[in-house]
């Protein structure tokens, strides 16, 4: 097998390694059923949505729709996002 056949696979692993680890997000369920996500510095909105979607799927829902985002005074989690599960 040639080395060039491994290049696409190496590119995929490189892209995955660049994402924010799931353990860095603070995900919680609010009393009204919404999902809150505390995002660490440098996290992309798509990564935040994936964390919310994972929590929604645990609740038997298929989609996570953003309802609100706001800045916080917390240095570790400068942004909080609220998602609704559908």
The pLDDT tens digits for 69-86 are 999 999 999 999 999 999
Residue 41, classed as helix, strand or coil, is: coil
CA 35/CA 53 separation, integer angstroms? 9
pLDDT of residue 80: 96
The pLDDT tens digits for 55-67 are 999 999 999 999 9
Residue 68, classed as helix, strand or coil, is: strand
64-71 β-sheet, strand order: 26-29, 35-39, 79-85, 64-71
Query: What's the predicted TM-score (pTM) here?
Result: 0.73
């Amino acid at each position: 097998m040639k080395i060039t056949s491994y290049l696409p696979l190496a590119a995929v692993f490189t892209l995955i390694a660049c994402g924010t680890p799931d353990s860095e997000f603070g995900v919680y369920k609010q009393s009204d059923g919404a999902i809150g996500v505390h995002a660490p510095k440098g996290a992309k909105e798509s990564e935040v949505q994936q964390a919310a979607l994972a929590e929604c799927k645990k609740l038997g829902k298929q989609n996570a729709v953003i309802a609100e985002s706001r800045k916080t005074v917390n240095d570790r989690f400068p942004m909080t996002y609220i998602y609704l599960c559908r």
